[in-house]
Structures are given as structure tokens and as C-alpha cells.
Amino acid sequence: MLERILAETIRHGRLTVQFPDGHTVRYGQKGAEAEWIIRDPGVPRRLLRDPAFELGQTYMEGGWEAPRGLTALIELLMRNVPDDAQISFPGRVRRHLQQMNSLRKSRAHVHHHYDLDEALFRSFLDRDMHYSCAYFADPGMSLEQAQQAKCEHLLRKLELRKGQRVLDIGSGWGGLALYLAQHADVEVTGLTLSQEQHRVATKRARDRGLDGQVRFLLEDYREHRNTYDRIVSVGMFEHVGVPNYGAFFDCVTQRLAPRGLAVLHHIGRKGPPGLTNPWIERYIFPGGYNPALSEVITPIEKAGLKIADVEVLRFHYRYTLREWLRRFELRRGEAVARFGEEFARMWEFYLASCEASFAIGELVVFQLQMGLDLEGLPLTRAHWYRNRETIENAEAQPA
């Protein structure tokens, strides 16, 4: 059955498949090539039953290999098997239940992924430990340079002035907060639910002598008080969940000072609303969801915020994930020693499938600039794109 489906489906690119009994079949005519060696006889049946989940599950278990590259195989399959954008009623109900991220569930979800191990993340991230999409202002940038370019791009969109107070919702390993404090001379409060990230970020601020200017709190955005001139959130909104978008933007409104400004950076969909891949939801980001822009705009408006700018970063995360996967593979043995072979394969599939989704799938990154009052903002974007020496010198940034 799988052979027949592949024969009818593969039209873009050339796929070579070796089946468990040893026979090999080639599908497609021309274009990108990929190779698929299926070792476990149970894999075809499982893929036919639930391809969205079982493709990752069977790879994680060692049921198949991709000798010419895992990303290349996933991309070829995605090109030939379009995602159905229509969501059934049961799908909508399931999505709603998955994304009911209460305070307790949010902490559990963060712990599942972000508290794994500092060493794991250091093995594939840039030196400054940014776990979000980089900004390749120049295609020849290193990952370190592109992550610093991202920080600089956000700094300029925030229109920062010396001495202002900034709230960083979902501050991660602390890289952005430290960058803003160091390069804009502002005070930054970072919020995270990850104990590991909080520990590392706090130490980094202290080591850089910025602990009087930057503080990190183990706190949910719904629990935090105080008022800020600027709010920024990078790579955290994907964990909020559609049922909580109103509460999130209400918090932004309540925390912003008059004439305050906020910038939201998050993964989203080019097309209409969809569903989180079930394998990703189970193993990587429980409770996570990448929204369509249409799902974000309405709660922003209802919260009383006005949108000043929307920018779509199309292939930047593709390049980021490609480099993360390359670096992970170079130190793969460390992950195997600490977590086991199945974990290493899980992490490979996570990075490769996400790279493919940004290369030819539905995913992009949105950056939204918004505020309570847009008076006084520059008339053009021109000042966002000037070169700056700090980006070129990013290789020398302290960890």
C-alpha cells in the first residue's frame, strides 16, 4: 500500500526507497533527491495509520534512516503531500484543550523542554545562547552575527531611550535582555518559567556586571505587575495558546506606560489557522501553537493596542535551524552519552522537521510593533537597517 501511495504522490523531486525486505524503488522524475531506508517491517503500516505522528516516532525508535540527509527527505515528502488547512470540529476541540495553558500547565510545559540541560543547548546554540530565530541581514553572516543582528533589529524597533524600563516576557537564557541593557543603557526585567534559564541568565548578568541593571524573575506574565516604557517578547508567544491571547495582550496593555511601545516576535503561519503537529506536541512543545496572523490581530485590537508595523521574516529561521542541526550533529555523541540514542534521534527529527517547515512549509516569523499611542514614532523604517559594528564583532561576544 505504501509503495502505491508513493508512486501516485511523488511528483516533485526524486525519492529512492529501500524497503525492509531489501528491494528498492525509485519514485519521481527530477529535482531534489532524497533516500529513505526503511529497516523495521512495521514502519509502512504505522505510517499509513498516522503519518503526521508516526514519521517522527518511527525515526526516533530507529525504524528508518535518511542517508542523504534527514531534512532533504522531510522536505521532499512535504512538497508532495500538502497539508490540509481545513480543521474539523474535533480538531478544533482538541486544539482548544491542548492550548488551555493554565499557570500550572505552563510551568509543566516549560519544564518539559527548557529545563532539559544547559549543556544540551550550549551544544548547538550560538555563544550568546539565543534560542529563537536569528536575523540574517547578510546571507554570509555566521549564526553568532545573525543573532546579534536580531538583537539590534529589535533594539531599533523598540525605539529605546537611555534609562527606560523594559519588560522581556520569556527572556530565555538572557541574551536579549543583556544586549539591550549593554547597548541601549536601559533597565530590563526578564520573565521566565524555566528554573534552568533563570539560573543561567542571572549568573550571566552578574558575570557581566549588569546585575544592577538587569534582573530575571521566575514569574508568569499573568502574575507580574509594574509598568514599563517598553515590552518585548521573543519566541514565547508560541506557548501562550489561542484561548489565552486576550489575557496576554491585556497584560501588555496594563504593563505599558503612556506612549509605551511593545514588539512581539513569534513563529506564525503564512496561511489560515491550523493544528500543531502531534509528534511535536507530544515530545517537543506540549501546549505549543504557531498562529496565523488573523488569530493574533483581533485580540491585539480588543486589548486597546494599535499596530504600528508588521514584518514577515520568511527564511531566517530556516537558516537558523540548519545551523543548529549542523552544530548538534558535530556534538551528537554528547547528547547520546547524557540522554541516550533515542533522545538524540528525537532532537535530530525536531530540528530537521522544523527546518523543512520553514523552507517549504507554512511557517514564517512575524515581528509586530504596537503601542497604546503611536504618536512620535519615526515615519519610515530607514533607521532599522543601518549597519553597526557590534554585529560584525559578534564572534567575540562573551558567553
Which H or E element spans position 289? none
- From 133, 151, 251, 354, the catalytic residue: 354
Which H or E element spans position 113? helix 103-114
Q: Which amino acid is at 194?
A: S
CA-nearest of 265, 336, 323 to 125 is 323
Parallel, antiparallel or unpaired: strands 228-234 and 187-192: unpaired
The dihedral region occupied by 174, where left means phi > 0, alpha psi between -120 and 50, and beta the remainder, is left
- CB burial string 374-391: b at 16+ within 10 A, e below: eeeeeeeeeebeeeeebb
Residues linked to residue 25 through DSSP beta bridges, in sequence order: 17
Respond yes or no: is residue 354 known to be catalytic: yes
Q: Which amino acid is at 147?
A: Q
C-alpha cell at 121: 543547548
**Residues 134, 208: Cα–Cα separation, whole Å:** 23
In angstroms, how far is the first alpha carbon of the chain from the final one? 52
Residues 6+ apart with CB under 8 A from 61: 40, 342, 345
**Residues 128, 178: Cα–Cα separation, whole Å:** 10
Beta-carbon count within 10 A of 226 CB: 9
CA-nearest of 163, 187, 176, 153 to 309 is 153
Helices (H), 220-283: 245-255, 278-283
Catalytic residue positions, numbered: 354
